[in-house]
């Protein structure tokens, strides 16, 4: 199972509360329709769905966000193959006993804020219960800790951590690492991720 995320925006601003659907999802080799999964909202303009690609083909799809985002932002294309499934499972299998923390940073230069979308995968599924907190640590290139942010609230297993005025400069690169505490006892760390701001 692979988790695919798509982002909705209009005039450079993320859009929430949409009900996106699939304009189409087909096998690349034959053009035959493929079963479409349910798309759910994550937050801050992000939407996700779980999908299993066939082992012998690639899937090509288009998500329709609807007319409220404008014609130029209405459709978002994607592709996924069996190796995307395998890469996700490979990462899970070598880390944290089939568990892994994923972190996706989004930097907004207009508001000078950075938003981290974080969730815990266990055996390929997002964990939605027993989650206590998320802590995000950001370091510079010399491994000096720049800031730490902690969040205890999550929506359907997704933590949204917002840091305002993070004193990060465009063009610079930073390292981030996150850890989620589950059942107040077990801490699972993410792999260290390099982030380049532009």
Range of the domain at 61: 2-90
Residues 101 and 85 in one domain: no
Number of domains in the chain: 2
Residues 85 and 100 in one domain: no
- Residues belonging to the chain: 198
Sequence-ordered list of residues with C-beta below 8 angstroms from that of 181, at least 6 positions apart, any chain:
131, 132, 133, 134, 135, 187
Residues 78 and 102 in one domain: no
Residues 116 and 174 in one domain: yes
Final residue of a domain: which of 38, 67, 90? Answer: 90
Residues 140 and 171 in one domain: yes
Residues 100 and 192 in one domain: yes
Give the CATH number, domain containing residue 108.
2.60.40.2550
Residues 101 and 191 in one domain: yes
Residues 188 and 100 in one domain: yes
Residues 103 and 188 in one domain: yes
Residues 46 and 87 sit within 8 Å (Cβ to Cβ): no
Final residue of a domain: which of 43, 58, 90? Answer: 90
Residues 77 and 130 in one domain: no
Q: CA-to-CA distance for 62 and 132, rounded, in angstroms?
A: 36
Final residue of a domain: which of 41, 72, 90? Answer: 90
pLDDT tens profile 34-89: 999 999 998 888 998 888 777 778 889 999 999 899 888 899 888 887 655 433 33
Residues 64 and 47 sit within 8 Å (Cβ to Cβ): no
Query: Who has greater pLDDT, 191 or 158?
Result: 158
pLDDT tens profile 96-145: 445 677 787 777 777 778 888 888 877 667 888 888 888 888 887 777 88
pTM of the model: 0.49
Residues 188 and 153 sit within 8 Å (Cβ to Cβ): no
């Amino acid at each position: 199972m692979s988790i695919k995320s798509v982002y909705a925006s209009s005039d450079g601003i993320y859009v929430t509360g949409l009900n996106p659907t699939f304009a189409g999802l087909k096998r690349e080799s034959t053009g035959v329709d493929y079963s479409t999964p349910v798309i759910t909202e994550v937050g801050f303009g992000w939407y996700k769905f779980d999908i299993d690609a066939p082992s012998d083909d690639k899937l090509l799809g288009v998500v329709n966000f609807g007319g409220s985002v404008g014609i130029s932002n209405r459709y978002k294309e994607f592709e996924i193959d069996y190796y995307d499934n395998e890469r996700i499972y490979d990462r899970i299998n070598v880390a944290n006993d089939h568990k892994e923390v994923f972190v996706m940073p989004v930097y907004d230069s207009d508001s000078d804020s950075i938003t981290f979308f974080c969730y815990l995968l266990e055996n390929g599924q997002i964990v939605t219960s027993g989650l206590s907190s998320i802590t995000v640590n950001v370091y510079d290139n010399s491994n000096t800790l720049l800031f730490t942010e902690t969040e205890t609230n999550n929506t359907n297993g997704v933590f949204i951590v917002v840091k305002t005025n993070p004193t990060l400069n465009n063009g610079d690169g930073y390292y981030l690492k996150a850890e989620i505490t589950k059942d107040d006892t077990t801490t699972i760390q993410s792999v260290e991720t390099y982030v380049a701001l532009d």
